[in-house]
Chains A and B, each alone.
Chain A
Amino acid sequence: DSGVTQTPKHLITATGQRVTLRCSPRSGDLSVYWYQQSLDQGLQFLIQYYNGEERAKGNILERFSAQQFPDLHSELNLSSLELGDSALYFCASSVAGETSSYNEQFFGPGTRLTVL
């Protein structure tokens, strides 16, 4: 158990809908990262937050957004869903921000999103 929790575990929805994925980082970790894992694209970094502020942005679509709240939990919002958004979405946390490149990330168990 990494100490990172994600809800829900599974989500099935229809095209055009909007969903919210939730992540609680390990106690004491200030950074939260979101990743998308699909068979054809592998593991893609989406976005990072550090202590409530956006720190780095990767391959995140404009239809997707995220935020980190004062209690440090984070939510990833996916809207106008398409079939191609079906994937595993992982959250990870780490102690420090982007300047500590040697810090490991602790991954949650993931949310499997299926868009029908």
Chain B
Amino acid sequence: GDSVTQMEGPVTLSEEAFLTINCTYTATGYPSLFWYVQYPGEGLQLLLKATKADDKGSNKGFEATYRKETTSFHLEKGSVQVSDSAVYFCALRGGGSYIPTFGRGTSLIVHP
């Protein structure tokens, strides 16, 4: 079946540091890929998405590129802020099935 693997956290950074959170996937077909963010005490909200190979999703300074050859969708941000502290989930849908598949989540902690 489909699966998503994320780097384990927590990831701890200082403000203005560069962020990368790795995400790789296994799926048949051509899934759509998503990054969701969950702030403390809240539900998940969509951060960005890409629906086909080589697409780049971007939002709020975050970017991720759909790499079919490496089955990856790594999340990056050039300069993180304290307010970016949250849990980030990589997800896919539309691979072998239409059941949404989420990674385990990566906690990001940004210090001033």
A110 within 8 Å of B (CB atoms): yes
B43 touches A101 (CB 8 A): no
Chain B residue nearest in CB terms to A107? B43
A45 touches B45 (CB 8 A): no
Number of interface residues of B (CB under 8 A): 24
Interface residues of B in 57-104 (CB under 8 A from A): 89, 93-94, 97-104
Closest Cβ of chain B: how far from A36's Cβ, in Å? 11
Category for how many chain A residues contact B: 20 to 34
Closest Cβ of chain B: how far from A102's Cβ, in Å? 4
A108 touches B43 (CB 8 A): yes
A42 touches B34 (CB 8 A): no
Knowing A101-B32, A101-B93, A101-B94, the reply to whether A58 touches B99 (Cβ < 8 A) is yes
Which of B31, B51, B99 has the most CB atoms of chain A within a 10 A radius of its CB?
B99
Q: CB-CB < 8 A to A45: which residues of B?
A: 99-102
B45, B98, B102: the one within 8 Å of A99 (CB): B98
B binding-site residues for A, Cβ under 8 Å: 31-32, 34, 36, 41-46, 49, 51, 89, 93-94, 97-105
Apart from A33-B100, A45-B101, A107-B43, what are 12 other A-B pairs with CB-CB below 8 Å?
A: A4-B43, A42-B104, A43-B102, A56-B97, A101-B32, A101-B51, A101-B94, A102-B51, A102-B94, A105-B100, A109-B42, A109-B43
